[in-house]
């Protein structure tokens, strides 16, 4: 079972939930791997406290143009959806903007003059950590200055073992990295907070998941700090409320120093297992 932890915006407590969820599942005897797909700023290992076991660079294949063969026809630029090819035919100038290239290979296919070959560039790493309890964390980390984390996320998700539970800590927002990360999920837990901003971003995430035909439920963090609009929305949309995390300074204090809250809050293990059991029962009822 693959469970993604996501949110429409950053700072809602996604990593707090993902790391504690994995911690409790592991403690209860489930082999649960955590995949940190927040590749622009992965931070799950601060809480996981794992030792690096393996590290692999992620390569992206980008085009190289042979200007001796190029006829400046512009076909490659027309095929490129990412504006990664700059061409001025009248000046006989063509450049690859590597920062914008997604390595899709469409330009190579488009060029009938054999003017394009490819080279690989390093865009990040996938690191595997193991902690003192034997749990595993896979971390996607993109290089500073790289435009898109999608390729690094794809590489990290290759580590998913279908015989185990995988917790995917998805990047915030609802753009390509979010879609890529929740793609393999059987269930998505959306973390939100009961504020107008939180609700607005939650709605966007829900609409995206509807298009992707995913099963999902919601965890409300900082419950009690905002208003009741999020609760009304969940009721109206018939979206399961899986858990509430109270607005509690002691939780923030533990999180701020990299501690696992479930180790200190005696009710957390049971609450997190209830979330897991609810997801399982929702999965069974939808089959």
Separation of CA 218 from chain center: 17
Q: How far is the CB of 227 from ligand SF4 (least distance, A)?
A: 44
For residues 69 and 158, which CB has a smaller minimum distance to ligand SF4 in the complex?
69
For residues 82 and 233, which CB has a smaller minimum distance to ligand SF4 in the complex?
82
DSSP element (H, E) containing 209: helix 196-211
Q: How far is the CB of 187 from ligand SF4 (least distance, A)?
A: 32
Q: Locate tokens 């005897």: which residue?
A: 29
Q: How far is the CB of 175 from ligand SF4 (least distance, A)?
A: 16
Whole-angstrom Cα distance, residue 184 to residue 18?
Answer: 16
Q: Nearest 10 degrees: CA dihedral of 138, 40, 63, 155? A: 10
**Contacts with ligand SF4, residue ranges (CB under 6 A):** 62-63, 65, 70-76, 79-80, 82, 84-85, 87, 94, 96, 101-107, 110-111, 113, 115-116
For residues 10 and 105, which CB has a smaller minimum distance to ligand SF4 in the complex?
105
Q: How far is the CB of 105 from ligand SF4 (least distance, A)?
A: 5
Separation of CA 131 from chain center: 22
CA distances to 3, 42, 210 from 184, in Å: 9, 19, 15
For residues 49 and 102, which CB has a smaller minimum distance to ligand SF4 in the complex?
102
């Amino acid at each position: 079972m693959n469970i993604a932890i996501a949110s429409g915006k950053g700072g809602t407590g996604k990593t707090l939930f993902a790391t504690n969820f994995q911690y409790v599942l592991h403690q209860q005897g489930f082999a649960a791997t955590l995949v940190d797909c927040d590749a622009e700023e992965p931070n799950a290992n601060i809480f996981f406290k794992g030792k690096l076991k393996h590290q692999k660079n992620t390569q992206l294949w980008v085009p190289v143009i042979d200007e001796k063969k190029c006829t400046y026809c512009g076909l490659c630029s027309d095929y490129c959806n990412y504006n990664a090819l700059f061409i001025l035919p009248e000046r006989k100038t063509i450049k690859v903007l590597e920062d914008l290239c997604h390595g899709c290979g469409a330009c190579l296919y488009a060029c009938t003059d054999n003017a394009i070959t490819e080279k690989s560039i390093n865009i990040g790493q996938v690191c595997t950590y193991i902690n003192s309890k034997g749990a595993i964390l896979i971390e996607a980390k993109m290089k500073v200055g790289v435009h898109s984390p999608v390729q690094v996320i794809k590489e990290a998700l290759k580590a998913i073992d279908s015989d185990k539970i995988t917790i995917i800590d998805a990047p915030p927002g609802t753009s390509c990295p979010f879609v890529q990360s929740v793609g393999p999920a059987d269930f998505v837990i959306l973390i939100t907070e009961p504020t107008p901003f939180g609700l607005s971003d939650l709605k966007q995430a829900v609409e995206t998941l509807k298009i992707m035909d995913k099963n999902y439920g919601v965890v409300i963090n900082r419950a009690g700090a905002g208003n009741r609009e999020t609760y009304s929305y969940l009721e109206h949309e018939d979206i399961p409320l899986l858990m509430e995390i109270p607005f509690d300074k002691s939780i923030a204090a533990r999180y701020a120093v990299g501690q696992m809250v479930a180790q200190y809050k005696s009710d957390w293990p049971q609450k997190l297992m209830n979330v897991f059991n609810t997801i399982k029962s929702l999965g069974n009822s939808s089959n």
